[in-house]
A and B are shown apart, each in its own frame.
Chain A
Amino acid sequence: DAMVIQNPRYQVTQFGKPVTLSCSQTLNHNVMYWYQQKSSQAPKLLFHYYDKDFNNEADTPDNFQSRRPNTSFCFLDIRSPGLGDAAMYLCATSLQGDGYTFGSGTRLTVV
């Protein structure tokens, strides 16, 4: 089945140690998104790629970066995780803004 896959499901990292979360898709969607969802809150868009074009939300901290080496893969890099970055990170894809599909998420714990 075509889908959006996030690895790992659970990630524990040390305070200040760089961490990378990955997302892959078999839908051939041209738009890929990263959302941050803290406990009991709505998902918040961090950034997205429209094809190769990177679009950062104005309030996304510089600590968060992203890479999209090809259509299928997108990575979220957190350069120096703080305790406040502990959250569920959701990857999503769409075709021209249609047919949004979410992955199962990666729950990040910072110790």
Chain B
Amino acid sequence: GEDVEQSLFLSVREGDSSVINCTYTDSSSTYLYWYKQEPGAGLQLLTYIFSNMDMKQDQRLTVLLNKKDKHLSLRIADTQTGDSAIYFCAESPVNSGYSTLTFGKGTMLLVSP
């Protein structure tokens, strides 16, 4: 089955870049997602990438994928205090029908002024 691993905690200063890392094990074609969860709230989809892509950029967010190592990273440029939250990596294998999301344990990002 699928397994998704993340580092648990990251602390950065406001204005710096943040890089959150994730590894996954599924060997099939898969979608890889980054979700943000603020305290007491649901999950907000930030961005996603298909496993045949190397990179995706969306404003301050850059996703890099190393397919050989099955390593995914989320870079947040010019990190702000409002970016403090838990970030979940998730994968969803592409099957002939449909599939479900498998989440990592989440990385808590703390941004200090």
Contact = CB atoms under 8 A, between A and B. Distances in A.
B42 A103 contact: yes
B101 A100 contact: yes
Interface string A79-111: 000000000001010101110111111010000
Given A90-B42, A101-B45, A103-B42, A42 B100 contact: no
Given A50-B98, A96-B98, A97-B99, A105 B106 contact: no
Interface residues of A, number: 23
Nearest to A55: B100
B72 to A, nearest CB: 15
Interface size class of B (residues with CB under 8 A): 20 to 34
Interface string B90-101: 001011011111
Interface in A1-49: 6, 31, 33, 40-43, 45, 48
Interface in B40-69: 40-45
Contact of A102 (B43, B98, B99): B43
Interface string A46-64: 0010100000000000000
B32 to A, nearest CB: 12
Nearest to B106: A42
Contacts of B88: 42-43
A7 to B, nearest CB: 13
Interface of A: 6, 31, 33, 40-43, 45, 48, 50, 90, 92, 94, 96-98, 100-105, 107
Interface of B: 33, 35, 40-45, 88, 92, 94-95, 97-101, 103-106
